Amino acid sequence: MSKVGFVGLGIMGKPMVLNLLKAGIETTVYDINPAAVDALKEAGAKGAVSPKELAGGNDVIITMVPNAKIVGILLEGPDGILAGVKPGTVIVDMSSVSPVDSKYFAELAKSKQCPFLDSPVSGGEPGAIHATLAFMVGGDEAVVEQIRDVYDAMGTSITVVGPNGSGSVAKLANQIMVNLNIAAVSEALILAQKAGADPKKVYEAVRGGLAGSTVLDAKAPMMFNRNFKPGGTLAINLKDITNVMDTAKSLEVPLILTSQLQQIMLSLKSDGHIMDDHSGIVQFYEKISGVEVKTPQK
């Protein structure tokens, strides 16, 4: 069974580590927040004082952090993962970064004779808690199979999309579909509310038809119940959509709806909603429509 070093113990990372421990996988953790490390040590994890120390004694190193800049800092430098890693250790970045970043990290890992997988996830905090995450992987399929026990402990879907960078491409595509779907749900419920219909009843009426989706079921109730506690913050999703637009620009691909979505998210940021769940996209439409999506209290 693989021994895992896990870096990044936030909304996603903490429950992912708990599921590794639940599966009996020996796990060492590191985070800049000592309290997060201590909480998981109480659950059975080992703690490391630096990424370098964490890297030395494990077969798999996983990074799950907010952006590519942080991944780079964790990998490089005198106290970084690559300073302590032994050849053959599998380095897995589960953060959401650009394909360019993933290919660069793969080259860094290769210089230390370490396989690298870019392996962003979908499923949000509920998926992390319930071990139902979907993994989109860029890298060697044989390496994925080598650490299959690690993936199986945290998720239910593991798809190798292609070589390094491909997992990050799939994640960008995922974020387009998820966030535009949330925007569409927002527009629909705004229309329903403005017309005098109960948005909860409208949701219940359409969810069993073609309009039904995982996004609808996850986000519509958050909207009409006024619950914007983040499972995935607007901040993280704006970062992902910005990566989408940067990648599209480099490929000369016009993404009309996604470019509008980026502007909506920037507007929400300026209004102080950046740490809300991305179901909070509805608040942009509420502001310009003069109506609040809310089911009547019984």
**Based on the domain organization, do 142 and 283 belong to the same domain?**
no
Do 148 and 180 have their domain in common?
A: no
State the DSSP H helix or E strand holding residue 155, giving kind and residue range, or none if neither. Answer: strand 155-162
**What would the two tokens of residue 26 be?**
């020996």
Do 150 and 44 share a structural domain? yes
Which residues lie below 8 Å from residue 215, measured CB to CB, with a gap of 6+? Answer: 178, 181, 182, 185
Whether 100 is in a domain gets the answer: yes
Average pLDDT of 246-257?
Answer: 96
CB-side neighbour CA atoms (13 Å) of 105:
36
Residues 192 and 155 in one domain: no
Q: Which residues pair with 146 in a beta bridge?
A: none
Tell me, yes or no, if 171 is annotated catalytic. Answer: yes
Q: What is the mean pLDDT of residues 180-204?
A: 98
DSSP type of residue 182 = H
What would the DSSP string read from start to end of 72-134?
A: HHHHSSTTSHHHHPPTTPEEEE-S---HHHHHHHHHHHHHTT--EEE--EESHHHHHHHT-EE
Query: What's the rounded Cα separation, in Å, for the pair 46 and 119?
Result: 23
CATH number at residue 264: 1.10.1040.10
Residue 176 and residue 156 in one domain: no
Chosen domain end from 121, 146, 162: 162
Can you read off the two tokens belonging to residue 43? 């659950």
Reading the block at residue 19, the tokens are 């599921």
Does the residue 150 lie in any domain?
A: yes
Helix then strand then coil, % of the chain, to nearest 5: 55, 15, 30
CB contact at 8 A, 155 and 133:
yes
Of 190, 192, 187, residue with least CA distance to 257: 187
User: Residue 156 — pLDDT band, cuts 50, 70, 90?
Assistant: very high
Q: Say yes or no: 204 and 150 in one domain.
A: no
Distance CA 231, CA 277 (A): 6
User: Hey, which residues does 4 pair with through a beta bridge?
Assistant: 27, 60
pLDDT at 297: 79
Same domain, 13 and 156: yes
Q: Tell me which of 14, 171, 200, 239 is the catalytic residue.
A: 171
Question: What pLDDT score does 48 carry?
Answer: 95
30-56 pLDDT tens trace: 999 999 999 999 999 999 999 999 999
Residue where one domain finishes, among candidates 129, 162, 195: 162
* Element at 259 (helix H, strand E): helix 256-270
Q: What is the pLDDT of residue 298?
A: 67
Range of the domain at 51: 4-162
Q: Answer yes or no: do 91 and 30 share one domain.
A: yes
pLDDT tens figures, 168-178? 999 999 999 99
pTM for this structure? 0.89
- Based on the structure, what is the number of domains in the chain? 2
Q: Are residues 128 and 256 in the same domain?
A: no
Mean pLDDT, the chain, as a whole number? 96
CA gap 129, 154 in Å, rounded: 9
